[in-house]
């Protein structure tokens, strides 16, 4: 397991590692990153505002739900099924072919 310094960095790494996320998922990605930012901010101010930090921890399940919906958790990938795990190179080739471009030989 890789240790991340911020929740935002960890969530962004999940997005980067996913092969199922598309541009259509931008809203869900933004929402998950917003939750991550709120937790990160609460961590920075935890000594001054311990109650705020406690409240921010309630965002954890919301981040997990967003990541699950995006196929970035084990059960989210399982629910999405095998079609959600597209090889990025194959997807790019299919996209080019759909646009009428011919691959180089």
DSSP code of 20?
S
Whole-angstrom Cα Rg for the chain? 18
Tens of pLDDT, residue by residue over 65-96, are: 999 999 998 888 888 776 655 555 555 555 56
**Residue range(s) defining the domain that contains residue 51:** 7-98
Q: Whole-structure pTM over 0.85, yes or no?
A: no
Q: Look at residues 54, 18, 12, 3 and name the one whose alpha carbon lies nearest to residue 33.
A: 12
Task: Check pLDDT > 90 for residue 3.
Answer: no
The pair of three-digit structure tokens given for residue 98, joined into one six-digit string? 């759909």
**CA 22 to mean position of chain CA atoms:** 11
d(CA 22, CA 64): 18
Residue 103 belongs to some domain of the structure: no
| Per-residue model confidence as pLDDT tens digits over 23-66 | 999 999 999 999 999 999 999 999 999 999 999 999 999 999 99
The answer on pLDDT for 11 being more than 70 is: yes
């Amino acid at each position: 397991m890789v240790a991340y310094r911020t929740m935002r960095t960890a969530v962004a790494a999940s997005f980067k590692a996913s092969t199922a996320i598309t541009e259509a998922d931008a809203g869900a990605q933004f929402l998950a990153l917003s939750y991550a930012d709120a937790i990160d901010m609460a961590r920075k101010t935890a000594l001054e505002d311990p109650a705020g930090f406690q409240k921010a921890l309630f965002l954890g399940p919301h981040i997990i739900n967003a990541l699950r919906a995006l196929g970035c958790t084990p059960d989210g990938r399982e629910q999405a099924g095998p079609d959600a795990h597209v090889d990025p190179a194959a997807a790019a080739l299919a996209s080019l072919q759909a646009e009428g471009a011919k691959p180089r030989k």
